[in-house]
A and B are shown apart, each in its own frame.
Chain A
Amino acid sequence: MTTAGERAQALLDVRKLTMRFGGLVAVNAVDLAVDSGQIHSVIGPNGAGKTTLFNAVTGIYEPTEGHVLFEGHTLARPLSAWILIRTAIIALLAGLLAMTFFVRADGLWKAAIRENMPAVRTDPFSYRQAASTAAEYLTVRSSEATTGFVGGFLVTLLGALALWNRSRRTTDVVALGGIARTFQNIRLFQNMTVLENVLVGMDRKFSATFLGMGLRLPGARREERELAAKADELLAFVGIQGRDQMLAKNLPYGDQRRLEIARAMACEPKLLLLDEPAAGMNPKETIDLMGLIRRIRDRGFTVLLIEHHMSLVMGISDRIAVLDYGAKIAEGTPLEVKNNPKVIEAYLGKEEVH
């Protein structure tokens, strides 16, 4: 067995990943390296931790221990200068807001505006006068003003940091980084059309501005048309052409799975995670799906696959990892895995339980 360290650089490199829920260890120190251009499968009995592994990789769960490296680094929201500046501005504004509350904004307004209104209607209002009155008002109440400003500033700053910290490794960051996925229990946007589902996947390619969208400017329209054409091509690729305007929930089950794949492909990920794509399919559909997954790989996507259907996995995988009770018990080519006694035991053990 080769380990992650020996390879030049795997596309996805999961290192000693552990997921614990309370006392339950769902995934236990799993290493997994997925190379570019391969179909890599993860198999294992029910409850072995396969989907949990996927969820940890895609940012739905925060790993209890271990790392997920993609192209050599962790996918996380970067701390850009813009975010820092924005946070500082927000905190400053909040500080000012808190300050006006602490010195009673009402009184401040009364002093600066109401009492500076010229006696004669037509006379101009002096904003300079208002500013100096306001400054005077604040000087008199400098301790309240300082308390309010510092308090508001600090609380907002800390709050913004806490929020930012919580949103560092969310699903969207992982998706934008180049990992897209499907879900075991199909999660399409049910009340949107087939085309719209794919267009949502393409979201990042749109460049229209708010005004362009609101007024349907020609640029925005052209963009819509071009990307819709691309989406149609993808839909044809997965085999559900001609049903663009149908609602996703009205598609037959098998086609829903295909649509989910098309939607994930629309993200143009480097790594495509398929969570039991053949679940609930009949043998013929499963064979078609095998072909589709191969064609996806040939299109340049790397595929990481969770599957129960042994025949499907053995037929198309370049490499297979086997999980049992959260731990990886074997990894290798399909042939190696098939003959591994631990794997056989794990699957037989599963029979005993049932």
Chain B
Amino acid sequence: MQPILADGNGGALFWELLVNGLVMGSLFALIALGYSLVYGIIELVNFAHGDLFMLGAAMTYTLTALAVSWFGTVTPGGMSFAIVLGLLLIVPFFCGGANILIDRAVYRPLRRAPRLVPLVSALGVSFVLVNIGQLWIGTSPLSLENKAQLVSDDSLIQMGEVPLKWKDAVVLITVVPVMVGLTWLVKFTRLGKAMRATAQNLVAAQLMGIGVERVIASTFFVGGYLAGLAAVVYTLKIGRIEYQMGFQNGLYAFTAAVVGGIGNIPGAVLGGLLLGFIYSFGGGYSQGNWVDALIFGVLIVLLIFRPTGLLGSRSREKV
């Protein structure tokens, strides 16, 4: 494979790819957490999660367009800052709420059904969401930047030759506190305790008086919230949305969750970052289309040598 390095610029490209990997990785991690949290509690691979992320991006676009039609042209500065804040407040709630709704309407009646049943339903939900997205934003890609320049293209800081762009900074500034917050939520709050107990043993948790359904709903909300957040920062960074973006990104995130050990929260973050780096460096040093193959190869090799993922623990079937 031919490296496509610019002449004499190898060092700078490396750092650029590193930053990009970190940023993409934290995005993948946010989405992967949604897979992992839900899987941890009800052992369901929520195939629709990636498409929820897509709807979040569509919401981001629509809200931005709405803001533009109210305020006129928006350029980076005070007004765009307010809009970004607004997006970060509204869209995650939209996605979280939608996720609760999906769970309530589709998955909840199937809690006692054989494993294949909710999985297939999740595929169905995925199709429904894609179709909603298609009707909502149409079939051709949309560019957010045509509507409004919410985040400037400038660099926030310059580290030697390497710039840290505002667009990347926004992702990191958003993601890091959220990760910390999530850790706090799971480790120290009542809800977090209930979530961990339910993940350990759903029936026992129920017998101990934990409102299991409430915990599951909260988990779906948190997963959706994170997907919504990812959708906002993704849209701000990439600037382009389309109704099929959920599939590809969902696949990356699902892979990240499995690589890290599905059901494991730090694992999802680790897997997401790892995948971000592979994605970024693979794309940078080879012809872009083979990145998927590279990621797939890493996944297969990992599953052979460490079937439970990097941080996953052995699950044992009850006999």
CB of A159 within 8 A of CB of B301, answer yes
A26 to B205, CA, bound (A): 23
A51 & B319 in contact (Cβ 8 Å cutoff) = yes
Q: Are A155 and B319 in contact (CB under 8 A)?
A: no
A216 to B315, alpha carbons, bound, how many Å? 41
Chain B residue with Cβ nearest A183: B319
Cβ–Cβ < 8 Å partners of A60 in chain B: 317, 319
Q: A158-B305, A159-B304, A183-B319 are in contact. List 6 more A-B contacts (CB 8 A).
A: A61-B316, A155-B301, A159-B301, A159-B305, A162-B305, A166-B307
0/1 per residue, A18-47, Cβ < 8 Å to B?
000100000000000000000000000000
Query: Please, how many angstroms separate the alpha-carbon atoms of A166 and B304 in the complex?
Result: 10
Contact between A163 and B304, CB atoms less than 8 A apart = yes
A55→B319 CA distance, assembly (Å): 8
Indicate with 1 or 0, residue by residue over B293-309, a CB within 8 angstroms of chain A CB atoms. Answer: 00000000100110100
User: What are 12 A-B pairs at a CB distance below 8 A?
Assistant: A51-B319, A60-B317, A60-B319, A61-B316, A102-B1, A158-B305, A159-B301, A159-B305, A162-B304, A162-B305, A166-B307, A183-B319
A162 to B317 CA separation, bound complex (whole angstroms): 21
A42 to B241, CA, bound (A): 65
Which residue numbers of B lie inside 8 Å of A, CB to CB?
1, 301, 304-305, 307, 316-317, 319
Report A348 CB to chain B, min CB distance, Å.
27
Residues of A at the B interface (CB closer than 8 Å) are: 21, 51, 55, 60-61, 102, 155, 158-159, 162-163, 166, 183-184
- In angstroms, Cα B317 to Cα A166, docked, is 16
Contact partners of B1 in chain A: CB under 8 A:
102
Residue in chain A with minimal CB distance to B313: A22
Most chain A CB inside 10 Å of its own CB: which residue of B1, B304, B316, B317: B304
- The chain B residue sitting closest to A187, CB to CB, is B319
Whole-angstrom CA separation of A158 from B302 in the bound complex: 12
- Tell me which residues across on chain B come within 8 A of A163, comparing CB atoms: 304
Interface hub of B301, B304, B317, B319 (most chain A Cβ within 10 A): B319
For the complex of A and B, 7 pairs with smallest distance between CB atoms: A159-B304, A55-B319, A162-B305, A162-B304, A60-B319, A155-B301, A163-B304
Give A102 to B1 CA distance when docked, in angstroms.
Answer: 7
In the complex, A155 Cα to B319 Cα: how many Å?
34
The minimal Cβ–Cβ distance linking B200 to chain A, given in whole angstroms, is 12
B294 to chain A minimum Cβ distance, whole angstroms, is 11
Expressed in whole angstroms, the Cα–Cα distance for A154 and B301 within the complex equals 12
Chain A proximity of B57: nearest CB distance (Å): 34
Give B259 Cβ to nearest chain A Cβ, in Å: 16
Smallest CB gap from B304: residue in A? A159
Residues from chain A with Cβ under 8 Å of B301 in the complex: 155, 159
Bound CA–CA A251/B305 (angstroms): 43
- Chain A residues near B319 (CB, 8 Å)? 51, 55, 60, 183-184
Q: Give min CB distance, A64 to chain B, whole Å.
A: 13
Expressed in whole angstroms, the Cα–Cα distance for A55 and B317 within the complex equals 11
B317 contact set on A, CB distance < 8 A? 60
**Which chain B residue lies CB-closest to A185?**
B319
Minimum distance in angstroms from B297 CB to a CB of chain A = 9
Chain B residues whose C-beta falls within 8 Å of the C-beta of A183 in the assembled complex = 319
Give, as a whole number of angstroms, the nearest-CB distance from A67 to chain B.
21
Residues of B within 8 A of A21 (CB): 316
Assembled-state Cα–Cα distance A155/B305 (Å): 10
CA distance A162 to B305 in the complex (A): 7
With CB as the reference atom, state the residue of chain A lying closest to B2: A104
**CB-nearest residue of chain A to B314:** A21
Query: In the assembled complex, which residues on chain B have CB atoms less than 8 Å from the CB atom of A51?
Result: 319
- Minimum CB distance partner of A158 in chain B: B305
- Across-interface contacts of B307 in A (CB, < 8 A): 166
B201 to A: closest C-beta gap in Å: 14
> A54: nearest residue on chain B (CB-CB)?
B319
List residues of chain B with CB within 8 A of the CB of A55.
319
Cα–Cα, bound, A61→B316 (Å)? 9
- Cα separation A155 to B303 with both chains bound (whole Å): 13
Write the nearest CB–CB distance from B213 to chain A, whole angstroms. 26
A162: chain B residues at CB < 8 Å are: 304-305
Give the nearest-CB partner of B318 in chain A. Answer: A185
Min distance, Cβ B307 to any Cβ of chain A, angstroms:
8
Bound-state CA distance A159–B305 (Å) is 7
Minimum CB distance partner of A55 in chain B: B319
